[in-house]
Amino acid sequence: MQAVFLDRDGVINENRADHVKCWSEFRFLPGAIDAIARLSQTGVRVFVVTNQAIVNRGLVSRETVDGINHRMVREIAARGGCVEAVAYCPHRPDERCYCRKPQPGLLLRLARGHRLRLTDSVVIGDALSDLQAGAAVDCRTVLVLTGRGRDQLPQVGVAHVDRLTVALDLNAAVDLLLGRSAEVA
């Protein structure tokens, strides 16, 4: 396993119906920081890929989203984790861009820029769109049941996403991934 791509809202932090619009609304999910630290400490490269249509909806500026992401990365680093990069799509669904998940544009951009083999990587998300983006580039995928995960589970089953694992949360997903990588090593 070379890299793990994490969705943000619902995987790392609490998913809010009204969106995370400032740092005071950002709440790490229990165990998320420690899970990222464990990945980092085993040499797995960690990236965050997230849809943030709130930018093009005019709810927040790019600078605000960048600030939230920067603070998230700093808090993770303070606890021993390392997020190499955060990539986000600011577009609304109706704009039909290639970077908005379920399209794989964010994954492809990070893979090119960081020389990653996507077939040796994993996408962890709480939505079908996360899994579809990963499957489009032959990543293994993990659906976590935090955020929207429980509600998305029936759709995922119907969509027949290949190379899929389901985990309770990010901590459990990391347990599974590190257990698998230890068996291969």
Residues serving a catalytic function are 7, 9
Q: Taking the CB of residue 69, how many other CB atoms lie within 10 A of it?
A: 20
